[in-house]
Amino acid sequence: MNIIDLRSDTVTQPTKAMRDAMYHATVGDDIMGEDPTVRELEVLVAGILGKEDGLFTSSGTMANQLAVMSFTNRGEEVIVGDTSHIFNLEVGGLAALSQVQTRSISVPDGVYDIEKLESLIQEEGIQRARTGLICIENTNNLNAGLVVPMENIRKVCELGKRYGIPIYMDGARIFNASIALGIEAKGIVKDVDATMVALTKGLAAPFGAVLVGSKEFIAKARWFKQRIGGGYRQGGFLAAPGIVALNSMLPQIAIDNANAKILGKRLSTIDGLLVDTNRIHTNIVSCSIEKLYISIDEFLAKLLEKNIKVKRISNTSFRMVTHYGITELELNQFISTLEEIVIRLSPAVKCQQ
């Protein structure tokens, strides 16, 4: 049974080259600093992103949490975007692991209002929590994949430097942003103090993320990683496909971004579906069925009957993510199936029946 799975770019299967690399990886005890493959991956990503050092982690969530643990002290405050992954989808990790409180700010299209952001920075006072960190997410909003303009990033970083507050960027899909902007990834993150990239999103690797920053920052994050049980022994088996992904899969990111625009444009022409093509910056497309006489769960069930999977994101909308596992033929098949379902749900068809 062929399933067309558009829920996420994390559902991809590793390539044969990745599987072979896992099998043949040279490994050692990573906790003791003796795994050459893990170290190769860490140095590779640090170089790509223009930072001093890197740390291989099991996931983007772990990388995010280690960053906050390393930058902040207990009882401090962290400013986060209200649509960010680190705020909404990491199981309250900021409070549970770092024991910091969050101050969220509305970030329409991922863009910070600099004046409002500055107003949220806590003044010195015996009753106030010190602002210890400002977080950016690029691409922003996992249900939209919006690219944050370089000028906005620059202004946030300037503000952080003025107040002595570090800036951390969740760059899980930074390569999608890089392709969309036509800028090398290192150019996007050059002013932030630390960032990370997920190897499982768009790059088709089966495991991991890499956190990068200064040598001092990474040394501290490595210590925290061990504390929460994230140390690996022969971690090279897990790191090897990430190296292959970075050396071979980056061209796929451009294909994914282009396919998302094609998908969004074609869906926007189907009467009954609502797609804002102006908000398709990278490989994520959101679609609303609020004009149709059907619940979102019923609609998704109809798609599943046709062996198609998408992700529910609200009572009236769903998300699609283009990726390595979706061929042009499957994309066309999905669009045709969706159009057929929508036509059958339209009021005109109902009257004829």
Per-residue pLDDT, 293: 87
Whole-angstrom Cα distance, residue 24 to residue 36? 13
CB within 8 Å of 227: residues ≥ 6 apart:
none
Per-residue pLDDT, 344: 87
DSSP state of 211: E
Strands 77-81 and 131-137 come out as parallel
Q: Which domains does the chain have, with CATH numbers?
A: 4-8+250-344 (3.90.1150.10), 16-248 (3.40.640.10)
Per-residue pLDDT, 353: 42
DSSP 134-170: EEEESSB-TTT-BPPPHHHHHHHHHHHHHHT--EEEE
| Structure tokens, 214 | 């200064």
Going by C-alpha positions, the residue among 218, 242, 220 that lies closest to residue 38 is 242
Per-residue pLDDT, 352: 41
Whole-angstrom Cα distance, residue 88 to residue 350? 40
Which of the residues in the chain have pLDDT under 70? 1, 347-353
Yes or no: say if 211 and 219 are a contact pair by the CB < 8 Å rule: no
Total length of the chain: 353
Per-residue pLDDT, 37: 98
pTM: 0.95
